[in-house]
Amino acid sequence: MRKKSKIILAAAGFGLVLLFGGLYIHHGVYYQDHFLPKTEVENVNISKLTYAEAKQKLTDELQNSQYQLLDDKKELATISGKELGLTQQTGTTLKKIMAQQNPWGLSSKVQAGTDQTNNNVTFSTANLQAFVNKTTQSLNQNRSVTKNATLIKTDNGFKIKAEVQGNQIDAEKLMSSMKTAISKGQRQIQVSSVYIKPAITKSSSQMQTALRQVAKIEKVSGTYTIAGQTEKITSSMIRAWLTYQNGQPTLDQTAVGNYLRELNSKYATYNKTRRFQSTKRGIVSVPAGIYGWSINVSAETANLTSVVLAGKDFTRTPTIQGSGYSKDGTDIGNTYVEVDKVNQHMYVYINGALKVSTDIVTGQPGQDTPVGVWSVWAKERNSTLKGKNNDGSSYASPVSYWMPIDTTGVGIHDSSWQPKYGGDWYKTHGSHGCINTPPKIMAQVFELVPKGTAVIVF
């Protein structure tokens, strides 16, 4: 009986050996082309899969993966691997794992992470950029704006106002962060890491420098010299104009412009009626013409701003435009042409000396010579003057000397066709508005009077 039992046990043992041996052989053969248990790539279990099955599973996992934008634990937006156009060339990695595994072993415990496969991941940059742009635009609508530190004006001067850290998302930083996450196989991005940061903080050297600059500028004062007069620009005026914009001290351009317009109204001669000391009629009132000067408010606003911001006391003359400006305030000066329509007479003064005194013929009634303070703005020899007569016919009058004085075609010229000058002759034989001058006298006038000379017609 004992002998029989031993035979049975021996047979059973031999059977188990054959069974386990068969299973072991099957295991070894099977894992020649299958991945061993516990094999993972990119945290995806590919145990017992063939190369083709593992590659497909990794592709499916990649396409179905979700990339999340999180605000702490709150999900703000997601995009799938498919939407990003993700692809991954895992063939080399899988073949390497297959080649290195021991098919007769029970487990490989291979954990192939992103450090082994990340260089194989590609995506559509256009798709990612479109997602980033759309998401930041949408999310930022309801988020607070980041503000740089700045200077603010108080009753006691300027002080630094601290920066404000908002929670709007920086699209460029988010784009970069998502590219990094994709390359590392990370599926979650915290938006707090890509907030727009203030470029200037209260402790930055830029703010400390700006504070010193405005303190220096607030102490500046200046003087304008205008046509023989002076105007003080006090420190209190400059403090009122001083402001801080776009990271730089500057002046309120509207306030400075208004100040300069006040000065212009007070001193400028352009477009103003003048009181003129005439030769025969005493002081007369002459309306504005094209002659005169004014402050170029636009240019001087910029110039004055630059001078003040330099931080030094100054004396200057404002930027002038037009004609006749003089440091002594005379405007017309002592070289000018005087046209007395009432007396039909013209005088030419050069440096205060009367050089020419002659009868003339001005415009006949209805075509009157315009009154005003005009200017000789050109000088021409041998010109032909063209226009229309009262009856509508055209005329063309050749002249030897032509000096236009206004903007309508009126000027001073010789008139060989006139048989007489002065008196009432102009009432019936007057010009079309020009100042007809005896030919011999006109030659003298042309020679004596420089371009830019004032012509006072009254």
Q: Could you tell me which residues come within 8 angstroms of residue 376 by beta carbon, excluding any fewer than 6 positions away?
A: 337, 403, 404, 405, 412, 449, 450, 451, 452, 453, 455
| Per-residue pLDDT, 117 | 45
Higher per-residue confidence, 115 vs 348:
348
In this prediction, residue 115 has a pLDDT band, given cuts at 50, 70 and 90, of very low
* The domain over range 206-271+293-322 is classified in CATH as 3.30.450.40: no
Instruction: Give tens-digit pLDDT for 209-268.
Output: 999 999 999 999 999 999 999 999 999 999 999 999 988 999 999 999 999 999 999 999
% of the chain with per-residue pLDDT over 70:
91
User: Whole-number mean pLDDT of the chain?
Assistant: 90
- 161's torsion region: left (phi>0), alpha (psi -120 to 50) or beta? beta
The better pLDDT of the pair 308, 117 is held by 308
- Please state, in angstroms and rounded to a whole number, the distance separating the CA atoms of residues 114 and 44: 11
pLDDT reported for residue 118: 46
Q: Residues 360-371: what's their mean pLDDT?
A: 97
Task: Report the top-level CATH class of 336-457.
Answer: mainly beta
Q: Where are the domains of the chain?
A: 21-143+169-197, 206-271+293-322, 336-457
Residue type, 77: A
SS3 of 202-270 = CCCHHHHHHHHHHHHHCCCCEEEEECCEEEEECHHHHHHHEEEECCEEEECHHHHHHHHHHHHHHHCCC
Evaluate if pTM is beyond 0.75. no
Q: Which run of H or E residues covers position 457?
A: strand 454-457
| Residue of 107 and 367 predicted with greater confidence | 367
User: What does the pLDDT average to over 347-360?
Assistant: 98
- With beta carbons less than 8 A apart as the criterion, state whether 269 and 328 touch: no
Instruction: Output the pLDDT for position 90.
Output: 75
| Active site (catalytic) residues | 413, 434
* Residue 141: pLDDT over 90: yes
> What is the tens place of the pLDDT at every residue in 16-66?
555 554 555 766 678 888 989 988 887 789 989 898 888 888 888 888 889
Q: How far apart are the first and last CA of the chain?
A: 159
Nearest to 442 by CA among 368, 397, 380: 380
Residue type, 299: A
How many CB atoms lie under 10 A from the CB of residue 131?
21
Q: Give the pairing of strands 411-414 and 435-437.
A: parallel
For residues 101-113, average pLDDT: 62
Backbone conformation region of residue 94, classed left if phi is above 0, alpha if psi is from -120 to 50, else beta: alpha
Burial class (CB in 10 A: 0-12, 13-18, 19+), 99: exposed
Burial level of 140, CB count in 10 A (0-12/13-18/19+)?
A: middle
* Residue 89 C-alpha from the chain's centroid: 47
Q: What digits encode the pLDDT tens for the residues 383-392?
A: 999 888 877 7
Residue 91 to residue 59: CA distance in whole angstroms: 11
pLDDT digit string, tens, across residues 259-309: 999 999 999 999 999 999 999 999 999 999 999 999 999 999 999 999 999
Q: Which amino acid is present at 245?
A: Q
Question: What is the C-alpha separation between 21 and 27, in angstroms, rounded?
Answer: 10
Please return the burial class of 382, using the count of CB atoms within 10 Å of its CB with bins 0-12, 13-18 and 19+.
exposed
Residue 329: predicted pLDDT: 83
Among 438, 435, 439, 426, which residue's Cα sits nearest to residue 455?
435
Q: Cα(171)–Cα(316) distance, rounded to whole angstroms?
A: 50
Is a pLDDT exceeding 90 seen at residue 119?
A: no
- What H or E segment, with its residue span, contains residue 348? strand 345-350
Distance in angstroms (rounded) separating the CA atoms of residues 55 and 37:
16
